[in-house]
Amino acid sequence: MELSNKDKAEAIQNSIETETLAEIGLIHPESYKQHNPNVATGLQAILALHEQMPMEKVYTNVVRKFQDGDIGFVHVDYFLFEHTAAFDIHRFENGVSVEHWDNLQTNSRKLNKSGRTMTDGKTKAVDHHKTDDNKRLAQNFVKNVLVNGQIDLVSAYFRNDELIQHNPYMGDGVQEFLNVLAQWKKDGKPQIYNKIHKVLGEGNFVLVLSEGSFWGEHAAFYDLYRIEQDKIVEHWDVIEAIPEQKKRKNDNGKF
């Protein structure tokens, strides 16, 4: 039976630990466009990177997997060169991945203020019939509140103060989220969203890819939202600095 796109994305990422990427045949050997700016484009560049990893320590744990049309995307707890939380996205053509995006963040593995990790929580999508509505809700929240700064609209996207938060710098609650953002701004190291690049979803899980700056660095934001009854109830994210052009190993762009 043909694997689903989310199962293929999971298999590709798991192959890092098992050192079987070349054998599983899920990446196009020639036409593989890489959007990780720290890795050259093409299959051989990934294989070469794997050879540099401390394989006695490497593990991959795909915690969540979803698909949106020809795209499979996964939320992963890794040890690559260090403990890492990540989102990996693959676009498939004719059964194989031809394009890849990701975002990686060092995972201290410490609990946040509410005792949560960067990857725990709900994992299975429901309400598949509401995928488009949920994508629209998450996109509008990021656009209106985070990009345009319309904080007064925040109540439209949450049920009172309910928000299960997995960001390592925050605790649960909508007000806590707003308070931390305000404090970062006051401290001169704001989190700024400038542009949404991609919105992916399956059922009640939606991943929004955005560009901006974090604590003074050009950054990519991958925000995963879980939605219940037309309100955001849970949030995970991965934030990664985007290197300047001259330090990038490919010209495909982060997004």
pLDDT digits (tens, 9 = 90+) for 192-225: 999 999 999 999 999 999 999 999 999 999 999 9
Q: What is the pTM of this model?
A: 0.98
Asked if pLDDT for residue 110 goes beyond 80, the answer is yes
For 111-142, what is each residue's pLDDT tens digit? 999 999 999 999 999 999 999 999 999 999 99
Q: How confident is the model at residue 192, as a pLDDT?
A: 98
Q: How confident is the model at residue 132, as a pLDDT?
A: 98
Dihedral class, residue 230 (left if φ above 0, else alpha if ψ from -120 to 50, else beta): left
Other C-beta atoms within 10 Å of 133: how many? Answer: 14
Q: How confident is the model at residue 44, as a pLDDT?
A: 94
Asked if pLDDT for residue 1 goes beyond 80, the answer is no
Asked if pLDDT for residue 50 goes beyond 90, the answer is no
At 125, list the tokens. 């999508």
The gap between the terminal CA atoms of the chain, to the nearest Å, is 32
Q: How confident is the model at residue 240, as a pLDDT?
A: 98
Q: How confident is the model at residue 66, as a pLDDT?
A: 98
**Confidence bin at 247 (pLDDT 50/70/90):** very high
Please spell the DSSP secondary structure of 56-103, one letter per residue: TT-EEEEEEEEEETTEEEEEEEEESSSEEEEEEEEEEETTEEEEEEEE
For 147-164, what is each residue's pLDDT tens digit? 999 999 999 999 999 999
Q: How confident is the model at residue 63, as a pLDDT?
A: 98
